Structure 1
Amino acid sequence: MSEDSTYGDGTEGFFGFVVGLYAAAVAVPAVTIAFELAATPSPGTLFFVLLGSTVLVAYVVGLFGRRESLAVRLGGTRSVWAALVPPLGYLVALFVSEVVRGEAPPGAVAGVAFAGALAGLVAGLGLIVASHNRYVKARLADAPVDVAFSARAPKRDRTRIKWTVVALFVGGVLCFVGEILLHFDPLRWLFQLLVPMAAGLYGGTTEREIRISSAGLIAGSPAHKQLRPWSEFESYDVADDAVVVRRAGWSPWGLRDVRRDASDVEDPEAVADALGRFLPRHE
Structure 2
Amino acid sequence: MGHGDAFETNLSPHGTFSLVAGLYVAAVLAPAATAVLVGGGPIWRTYATLLGTAAATAVVAGLAVSRAETRVAVGLGRTSLVRVLPLAGFAYAGWVVVGADDSIGLAMLGLLGGLFAGLIVVPMARNRAIRDRIADVPVRARWSAQAGPRRRRLAKVLAVVLVGGGLLAFVTGIVVDVRPVLWAGQLAIPVGAGVLGTTAEREYAVIDEGLVVRAPATLRLVPWDRFESVTVTDEAVSIRRSAPWRLAVSCDREAIDDVPAVRGALSRYLHDEQR
TM range (shorter): 0.7 to 0.9
Structure 1 distance, partners of 2:101, 2:179, is 15
- Displacement after TM superposition at 1:274 (Å): 0.8
Report which stretch shifted further, 166-175 or 150-159.
166-175
Q: Aligned in 2, Cα 1:205/1:17: closer, same or farther, shift over 3 Å? A: same
Residue aligning to 1:167: 161
Residue aligning to 2:5: none
Residue aligning to 2:129: 135
Residue aligning to 1:55: 55
Q: Aligned in 2, Cα 1:85/1:116: closer, same or farther, shift over 3 Å? A: closer
Residue aligning to 1:265: 256
Residue 39 of structure 1 aligns to a residue whose secondary structure is: coil
Residue deviations 1:110-137 (CA, integer Å, cap 9, x gap) = 69727962x4454333313322331232
Residue aligning to 1:72: 74
Q: Does 1:14 align with 2:16?
A: yes
Residue 200 of structure 2 aligns to a residue whose secondary structure is: coil
Residue 211 of structure 1 aligns to a residue whose secondary structure is: strand
Alpha-carbon contact 1:143-1:215 (below 8 Å) kept:
no
When normalised by structure 1's length, the TM-score is 0.72
- Displacement after TM superposition at 1:146 (Å): 2.3
Residue 244 of structure 1 aligns to a residue whose secondary structure is: strand
When normalised by structure 2's length, the TM-score is 0.74
- Identity, in percent, stands at 35
Q: Aligned in 2, Cα 1:128/1:274: closer, same or farther, shift over 3 Å? A: same
- Displacement after TM superposition at 1:64 (Å): 4.7
Residue aligning to 2:221: 227
Structure 1 distance, partners of 2:79, 2:196, is 26
Alpha-carbon contact 2:27-2:109 (below 8 Å) kept:
no
RMSD: 3.8
Residue aligning to 2:193: 199
Alpha-carbon contact 1:169-1:198 (below 8 Å) kept:
yes
Residue deviations 1:190-226 (CA, integer Å, cap 9, x gap) = 5554333233222111111111112321112364321
Structure 2 distance, partners of 1:22, 1:164, is 36
Report which stretch shifted further, 154-163 or 57-66.
57-66
Residue 122 of structure 2 aligns to a residue whose secondary structure is: helix
Residue 61 of structure 1 aligns to a residue whose secondary structure is: helix
- Displacement after TM superposition at 1:69 (Å): 2.4
Give the AA of the match of 1:260: C
